[in-house]
């Protein structure tokens, strides 16, 4: 964003998310409606069904079994959320999809397309001259609501569920988590064998059903790995 718009223009919100309660409100919704159930499910697999999160082969199997379901669930939640009605500050209600659509009708298409930028004019937007009031906050001091104070939703700063979510999920010091795709530990024959086992099981989205899928798949996976190790000796 800074390479496109230039420095100190308020192009994005940075720092702890206390400076952006609006997105924190969305994360509360994401956690409640989507994220928490998957976290609880994977935690239950660790406690009761022999999932070892430090075992890369277990992580590969977890991805193999459930990544598509997680992505499908995320897409469904996104679709539902985008159509739910929001109470607007100016009164009335509208969905995020409606706000996005009518916003483009009123303001024009917005994005990071190079066509919108003038490299010879210090990265100023071509539409800035047509909508000068929109850019006024770029020159504001923090005391006036600009800089690192831009984006603070003072209305929700005292909303208990949102503030609690912020304190639990956004500590001062965040641990770094590097997520890499686990390497497939099976050859083509092993994959076919595992898929044959899964084909006999129902395609379910219930926690009980997915737990059974994990347990049966883990059992089959370990047999396949044992077979591969025996053949290699």
26-81 pLDDT, tens digit per residue, is 888 899 989 999 999 999 999 999 999 999 999 999 999 999 999 999 999 999 99
Average pLDDT, the chain: 77
| 109: containing domain | 2-46+82-178
Instruction: Confirm whether 24 is domain-assigned.
Output: yes
Question: What confidence category does residue 230 fall into, taking pLDDT thresholds of 50, 70 and 90?
Answer: low
Question: Who's near 99: CB < 8 A, 6+ residues apart?
Answer: 86
Give pTM, 2 decimals.
0.65
Instruction: Confirm whether 51 is domain-assigned.
Output: no
CA distance 205 to 194: 19
156-213 pLDDT, tens digit per residue, is 656 667 666 666 666 566 566 677 788 999 999 999 999 999 999 999 999 999 999 9
Report the number of distinct structural domains present in the chain: 1
Instruction: Confirm whether 145 is domain-assigned.
Output: yes
* Rounded alpha-carbon distances, angstroms, from residue 41 to 15, 45, 177, 179: 31, 6, 20, 19
Which phi and psi (to 5°) does residue 93 adopt? -140, 150
Contact 142, 152 (CB under 8 A): no
pLDDT at 10 over 70: no
CA distance 214 to 146: 50
* Rounded alpha-carbon distances, angstroms, from residue 23 to 104, 118, 119, 134: 21, 30, 31, 20
């Amino acid at each position: 964003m800074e390479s496109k718009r230039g420095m100190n223009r308020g192009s994005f919100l940075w720092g702890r998310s206390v400076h952006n309660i609006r997105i924190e409100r969305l994360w509360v919704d994401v956690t409640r409606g989507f994220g928490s159930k998957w976290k609880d499910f994977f935690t239950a697999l660790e406690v009761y069904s022999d999932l070892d999160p430090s075992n890369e082969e277990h992580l590969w199997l977890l991805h193999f079994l459930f990544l598509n379901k997680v992505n499908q669930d995320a897409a469904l939640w996104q679709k539902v959320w985008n159509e739910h009605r929001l109470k607007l500050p100016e009164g009335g209600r509208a969905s995020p999809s409606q706000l996005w659509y009518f916003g483009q009708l009123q303001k024009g298409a917005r994005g990071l397309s190079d066509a919108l930028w003038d490299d010879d004019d210090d990265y100023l937007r071509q539409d800035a001259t047509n909508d000068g009031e929109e850019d006024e906050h770029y020159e504001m001091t923090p005391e006036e609501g600009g800089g690192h104070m831009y984006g603070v939703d003072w209305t929700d700063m005292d909303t208990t569920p949102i503030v609690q979510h912020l304190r639990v999920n956004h500590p001062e010091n965040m641990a770094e988590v590097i997520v890499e795709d686990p390497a497939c530990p099976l050859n083509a024959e092993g994959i076919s064998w595992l898929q044959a086992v899964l084909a006999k099981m129902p395609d379910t989205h219930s926690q009980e059903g997915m737990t059974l899928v994990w347990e049966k798949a883990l059992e089959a996976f370990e047999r396949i790995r044992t077979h591969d190790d025996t053949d290699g000796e």
